[in-house]
Amino acid sequence: MTITRIGNFEVHRVSEYEGPFIEPHVFFPDYDPAVLKANPDMAGPRLVDPATGKLVFSFHSFVVKTGRHTILIDSCIGNDKPRPTRPQFHQIKSPFLADLAAVGVKPEEVDFVMCTHLHWDHVGWNTRLTNGQWVPTFPNARYIMARREFEHWQAFQKRGEESPHARAFEDSVLPVVASGQSVLVNDDYAFEDGLWFEPAPGHTPGNVVIHARSGENRAVFLGDVIHHQFQLMQPAWSTLACTDRELSKKTRTRLIEEYAESGMRLLPGHFPAPTAGKIVRKGDAFRYAFE
């Protein structure tokens, strides 16, 4: 597996699924096929599956080894999770823990799980099914979540609305609260190892990106601010999964422009391998340059 280095930090990407996921006109409510026709370089097999026409997604976690701690950023989909409205991922059986072991990490060796947000595909491995109960997968970890994000999904779940996010809150978030392992923090939380949250609301109310710095080297774990490279071609395209599409557009546009200007190294939450790269300008739009 490819290792990304941020100074002295060692970053491993552990993917649970990579392949076709959803049609662009379904995922982006404002999708305009004319925009893609005007940008034919964006229709390659890395971005769009030629057989199905679906967007190519990766669902992955990042393991960050700082030298002091082992940190998991987001925890993918999870095995055995009931997701009937997401049949592709309903009660899946993936080798995620074996793949985690392949990068030298056992569940008991994870010190912190840091959540960019609490959607079903980012918290699944927070827990696993043991003797019919959802228990924390990482028994010695502290689970770091933005308080604003937690309170939003807590209220959503209490309203009884049917959603994979409400189900995920019940089976992948509340058990780590019950175990006493959750830590609710402000949106600008800073961690002693050189990682910190920056608020990036819109996709969800408490959505954050996670900055990492080691020495003079920096990178940003983007979570779902940008799901797919089509949003570099058209930053205004928010997704059907965004809680506030207008705010999501503003946050995404601001960060795309900022990161293109600074040349910041990025690790997005759904870009396929090798994932790490930078945003570059191309005319009036942007493109992604993989490392």
Q: For the chain, how far is it from start to end, CA to CA, in angstroms?
A: 14
Residue 90, pLDDT above cutoff 90: yes
Residue 132, pLDDT above cutoff 80: yes
Place of tokens 């601010």: 225
As a whole number, mean pLDDT of residues 200-214 equals 98
- Strands in the chain per DSSP E: 3-6, 9-22, 55-65, 70-73, 112-114, 127-130, 133-136, 142-146, 182-185, 190-191, 195-199, 208-214, 217-223, 266-268, 277-282, 285-290
Exposure of 1 in the CB half-sphere (CA atoms within 13 A): 19
If one counts the domains in the chain, the total is 1
**Per-residue confidence band for 117, with pLDDT thresholds at 50, 70 and 90:** very high
**156 exposure class (CB count in 10 Å sphere: 0-12, 13-18, 19+):** middle
> Among 216, 148, 226, which residue's Cα sits nearest to residue 188?
148
As a whole number, mean pLDDT of residues 56-71 equals 98
Other Cβ atoms within 10 Å of 90 Cβ, number: 13
pLDDT at position 62: 98
> Among 61, 35, 36, which residue's Cα sits nearest to residue 48?
36
Structure token digits, residue 165: 């996010």
Percent above pLDDT 70 for the chain: 100
User: For every residue of 207-252, which 3-state class applies, written as one string?
Assistant: CEEEEEEECCEEEEEEECCCCCCHHHHCCCCCCCCCCCHHHHHHHH
| Tens digits of residue pLDDT in 209-253 | 999 999 999 999 999 999 999 999 999 999 999 999 999 999 999
Residue 59, pLDDT above cutoff 70: yes
Q: What's the domain range around 251?
A: 3-290
Average pLDDT of the residues of the chain: 96
Q: What is the DSSP letter of 41?
A: G
pLDDT at position 283: 84
- CATH code for the domain in which residue 57 is found: 3.60.15.10
pLDDT at position 133: 98
| Tens digits of residue pLDDT in 246-281 | 999 999 999 999 999 999 999 999 999 999 999 999
**Per-residue confidence band for 1, with pLDDT thresholds at 50, 70 and 90:** low
- Our CA angle for 22, 90, 27, nearest 5°, is 20
**pTM given for the model:** 0.97
As a whole number, mean pLDDT of residues 174-203 equals 97
Q: Are 288 and 229 in contact (CB under 8 A)?
A: yes
CA distance 115 to 121: 11
Residues whose CB is less than 8 angstroms from the CB of residue 131 and which lie 6 or more positions away in sequence, other chains included? none
**Per-residue confidence band for 6, with pLDDT thresholds at 50, 70 and 90:** very high
**Per-residue confidence band for 284, with pLDDT thresholds at 50, 70 and 90:** confident
As a whole number, mean pLDDT of residues 156-176 equals 94
Q: Which three-class secondary structure state does DSSP give residue 288?
A: strand
